[in-house]
Structure 1
């Protein structure tokens, strides 16, 4: 039954991250043909933004060493965007050579994670991103920025909102069109999410330029998403079947499952354009190839 709530958008854009953020945590290499079919099935279920892969060095993420091969195997639907993660100018070169029109850069709100993930300070990482964004925009590419650890950091603890705002505004000043706020270890709660979005608005980054990326480590991803929607956000990152995990938090259950998000939004009367049953079938198909059941509660319920 659809029962709308006041204060929510009429439509939400789901930014699907399963093929990149979800699969990159898998130790067993998934065949290119399966990855390409996964992307095609996601598009067939109605998802219109699918982050497909990453041009990081294969040594750091072996699962994504086949980026060029995968992009060659994917039949790109003109109605679908296929962004890729680009860490530096070399990654941008590879993206341009493969006809990519949307990219994402991945920063951190904390110094410790910046050093562990990028081997740079926050300041050095911003300096690395600047020429990437400049060149990408000059080539007509759409650029998304990610800021991770916006609610908490496993080494530094709670992350002050003003610290997140400082990094976030600087990333947007580089020329990003959209900024995704990542609760990388899933420790955030709705009040914290609302306060962060309000602080960013006060600093000149409105909710219309934001996306949210919640992990479900403590079961707060849907609650945090609802808080973000009430604060004006209309773009939500999610991963089909809940693929992906967090190596920095014990018992992390990974990304917000796309199916769980769609079920909630359908019930609220918020349009997504996603066929939930086709999406759940896709996640069961991928789970069979990975050799384990999907952690998504909705995928499990629809299979009964």
Structure 2
């Protein structure tokens, strides 16, 4: 299995958007900007800063434009955003300091799609066809297709592989069958149900259909197996991941019995493990740990990251 380990992986940081959006408190803009600026210096290539959503529904993201405008830019680092509809996309297009990245979002269950978007999974796929046309018209490359709740749904229950297949069929019709470049296919453990055997079976299913596709994983550490799922994916050669520094974030519809259990898989813990396994990330781990501790000071409670509390091991030489 170790022969399949990637030599280098790419990690997209989602802590600022996922973390601040998930918290009830609205933190000062200057503190959030300093946090993103610290992340920008770590070697991360992509940082999701904020979302363009209804200020009434998500007041934590009401100042997204000011947030992006204040963040310090650095060559080689993209500061991206999230939008769910045309209104949000319009705001993003008018925003200074943002790097626009085309992404599509699919669902495996009607219940979760209804809760998030007010439509069935099939209707959501139809909506994405309009987004393809919109991105094409603006010259924005579609870089990723996310398939949500691939490993289970807190609202509908277990998700069969056939539900993944329906979305893979749609991707084939929209991209490979039309001769379009296939985007990265992200499998999202939206509610934190995945275990390593599920990771292996879902990745295997995608590879059966698209042998040359780049696969990404969006992992949550809700039940303590996020890093094990990361290892399972590494052993299958997956080299693209979303994560959140200090284990920030989570899904508000995940059905957790305790809010503190909702975090995403922790960036610095993943980077430490990758480096110890001889896998390159391009990330300065010490600076990343400093950023994680900054997040903990801002939020004012102990966060889920392990390495930020244990520290790097002290190497003893004889």
Distance 2:204 2:212 in 1: 8
Correspondence 1:250 to 2:272: no
Report if aligned partners of 2:192, 2:221 keep a CA contact under 8 Å in 1: yes
The residue aligned with 2:285 is 276
Structure 2: unaligned runs, 5 residues or longer: 176-181, 314-318
* Equivalent residues of 2:184, 2:213 under 8 A apart: no
Superposed counterparts of 1:121-132, under 5 Å? 121-132=120-131
The corresponding residue for 1:192 is 198
**What is the number of residues matched between the two proteins?**
300
In the aligned structure 2, how far is the partner of 1:22 from the partner of 1:165? 31
- Does the CA contact (< 8 Å) of 2:107 and 2:121 recur in 1? yes
1:91 aligns with 2:88: yes
1:82: how far off? 1.8
Change (3 A) 1:205 1:67: farther
Which stretch of the first structure deviates more once superposed, 176-185 or 228-237? 176-185
Asked whether 1:50 is paired with 2:37, we answer no
CA distance 1:192–1:274, shift in 2 (3 Å) = same
> Within 1, Cα distance between the matches of 2:135 and 2:13?
22
Specify the alignment match of 1:104 in structure 2: 103
- Tell me, in whole angstroms, the C-alpha distance in 1 between the residues paired with 2:34 and 2:166: 40
The 3 A distance-change label for structure 1 pair 141 and 37 is: farther
TM-score between both structures, scaled by the size of structure 1: 0.91
- Whether contact under 8 Å (1:16, 1:50) holds in the other structure is yes
Question: Highest CA radius of gyration, 1 or 2?
Answer: 2
Judge conservation of contact 2:185–2:213 (CA < 8 Å) in 1.
Answer: no
Matched, 1:164 2:164: yes
Call closer, same or farther: CA 1:199–1:55 in 2, change over 3 Å. Answer: same
From the superposition, tell whether residues 114 and 298 of structure 1 become closer, same or farther in structure 2 (CA, over 3 Å).
Answer: same
Alignment of 1:136-155 (within 5 A): 136-143=135-142, 144-155=144-155
Q: 1:234 aligns with which of 234, 239, 243?
A: 239
Q: Distance in 2 between matches of 1:235 and 1:53?
A: 21
For structure 1, list consecutive stretches of 5 or more residues without a partner in the other structure.
none
Counterpart for residue 82 of structure 1: 79
How far is 1:59 from its partner?
A: 2.6
Query: Does the residue aligned with 1:296 lie in a helix, a strand or coil?
Result: coil
Give the stretch that moved more between structures: 60-69 or 40-49: 60-69
Q: Contact 2:14–2:244 at 8 Å: present in 1 too?
A: yes
CA distance in 2, matches of 1:285, 1:31: 14
1:232–1:138 Cα change, 3 Å: farther
1:150-191 Cα offsets, whole Å, 9 max, x none, are 101112211011202322452575567223211112111111
Deviates more, 1:87-96 or 1:171-180: 171-180
Question: Are residues 26 and 171 of structure 1, via their aligned partners in 2, closer, same or farther at CA, if it must alter by over 3 Å?
Answer: farther
Partner-residue secondary structure (3-state), 1:158: coil
